[in-house]
Structure 1
Amino acid sequence: MRPFDHLTGGIIESAIEIHRALGPGLLESAYEELLAGELHRRGFALRRQAMIPFSWEDQRVQFGFRVDLLVNERVLVEIKATDRPNPVFARQVLTYLRLMQLPVGLLINFGTYRLVDGIQRVTNHDAPYVAPPDVVWPTRHKGETDCWRIREKEGPVRKHGAPPAPRGSPFLRFSDSLHVSSASPRSCAGA
């Protein structure tokens, strides 16, 4: 199980439940309100339409961008409701993640016939890693260190006709097959 899976899994379950009941065709703002309500009922802390300032060189941009949902201050959720997905949507999420220094975000497109085809998990490999509070770390012996990394399982996994994301790509589809492994310090040297 990857770090943040408990958060992203709960978000995805909530989105699927809403999509099953209502289907595609509503406005993006309606899906956002419904998803925020469902996440709130499940006990998640969230901010809606949060204005995020950022700095670039010596300049501070006060109203840089607006995040649809920020769940537990750790997972960014960008909601779309279009029948024609655009690759720029995932790049937009990655830009937001880099500016906010967050490790993971979800792009959820409610405009698809099946919602699992409209979910992308976007990861920011440049973010400083902050473990979720309920992650169980492996035991460490004196003088040893642990290395956590995401690696692909053996062989390409193709679900629903979607090819896997290219190796090293920060854009991961919900159906992509990745997992976190604890590796020995010797095997981390090459990673």
Structure 2
Amino acid sequence: MLLYEEETGKILEACLNVFNELGNGFLEPVYQEALAVEFGLMNIPFEKEKKLEIIYKGKKINKEYYADFICYGSVIVELKAVALLVNAHKAQVINYLKASKCKIGLLVNFGASSLKWERVSNFPAKGVSPEQIRVTKI
């Protein structure tokens, strides 16, 4: 069983309801507002545009980031309205997971011809040291 499987299932159902009603082609803020309405209708607890604090070596960074939603107090929901998701979108969710201490995130794209989503986790790779991580150019 996946962590927060029931919760993420309800969140994705709400996203699908919004997509089925609006289709693609709107800007992200339209989907964000519609999804907030849908979360309310489906009794999904959420915080919209939740401010995330970034801590570096024990010091709070002044730059502010905001998650589109945190649902159930533990699932980040990041919305996009783009033709194609790229690695930078997933990296954004991973960074939000780190900052929020949440373990699961959903990256949801309303911009394609059908609703696209990806489940992202913040579980550290076991047995990998920083020296083993390679940076590759794309």
The TM tier, using the shorter chain, reads 0.7 to 0.9
Query: In structure 2, what is the equivalent of residue 77 of structure 1?
Result: 77
Query: In structure 1, what is the equivalent of residue 135 of structure 2?
Result: none
- Following the alignment from structure 2 to structure 1, what is the Cα–Cα distance between the partners of residues 86 and 44? 29
- Following the alignment from structure 2 to structure 1, what is the Cα–Cα distance between the partners of residues 6 and 83? 28
Unaligned stretches of 5+ residues in structure 1: 127-191
Matches within 5 A, 1:112-127: 112-115=112-115, 118-126=116-124
Query: In structure 1, what is the equivalent of residue 134 of structure 2?
Result: none
User: Which amino acid counterpart does residue 26 of structure 1 have in structure 2?
Assistant: F
Q: How many residues align?
A: 124
Deviations 1:79-125 (A, max 9, x none): 0001132211011101111122211000000001111xx20000111
1:40 is displaced (CA, Å) by 1.5
Assess if the C-alpha contact under 8 Å between 2:32 and 2:68 holds in 1. Answer: yes
Assess if the C-alpha contact under 8 Å between 1:51 and 1:63 holds in 2. Answer: no
- Following the alignment from structure 1 to structure 2, what is the Cα–Cα distance between the partners of residues 52 and 85? 23
- Following the alignment from structure 1 to structure 2, what is the Cα–Cα distance between the partners of residues 58 and 18? 40
- Following the alignment from structure 1 to structure 2, what is the Cα–Cα distance between the partners of residues 85 and 58? 33
1:3 is displaced (CA, Å) by 2.3
Runs of 4+ in 1 over 6 A off after TM superposition: none
User: Per the alignment, in what secondary structure is the counterpart of residue 24 of structure 2?
Assistant: coil
Unaligned stretches of 5+ residues in structure 2: 125-138
Aligned-residue identity in percent: 28
Q: Check if 1:89 corresponds to 2:89.
A: yes
User: Per the alignment, in what secondary structure is the counterpart of residue 44 of structure 1?
Assistant: coil
- Following the alignment from structure 1 to structure 2, what is the Cα–Cα distance between the partners of residues 88 and 49? 19
Question: Pairwise CA RMSD of aligned residues?
Answer: 1.3
Query: In structure 2, what is the equivalent of residue 37 of structure 1?
Result: 37
Query: In structure 2, what is the equivalent of residue 48 of structure 1?
Result: 48
- Following the alignment from structure 2 to structure 1, what is the Cα–Cα distance between the partners of residues 9 and 84? 25
1:58 is displaced (CA, Å) by 3.5
Deviations 1:60-96 (A, max 9, x none): 1244311101101100000000113221101110111
**Residues 62 and 40 (structure 1), Cα distance of their counterparts in 2 relative to 1, 3 Å cut:** farther
User: Which amino acid counterpart does residue 43 of structure 1 have in structure 2?
Assistant: N
Assess if the C-alpha contact under 8 Å between 2:11 and 2:44 holds in 1. Answer: no
Asked which structure has the greater CA Rg, the reply is: 1
User: Per the alignment, in what secondary structure is the counterpart of residue 54 of structure 2?
Assistant: strand
Q: Check if 1:67 corresponds to 2:72.
A: no
- Following the alignment from structure 2 to structure 1, what is the Cα–Cα distance between the partners of residues 48 and 10? 17
- TM-score of the aligned structures, taking structure 1 as reference length: 0.62
Assess if the C-alpha contact under 8 Å between 2:68 and 2:78 holds in 1. Answer: yes
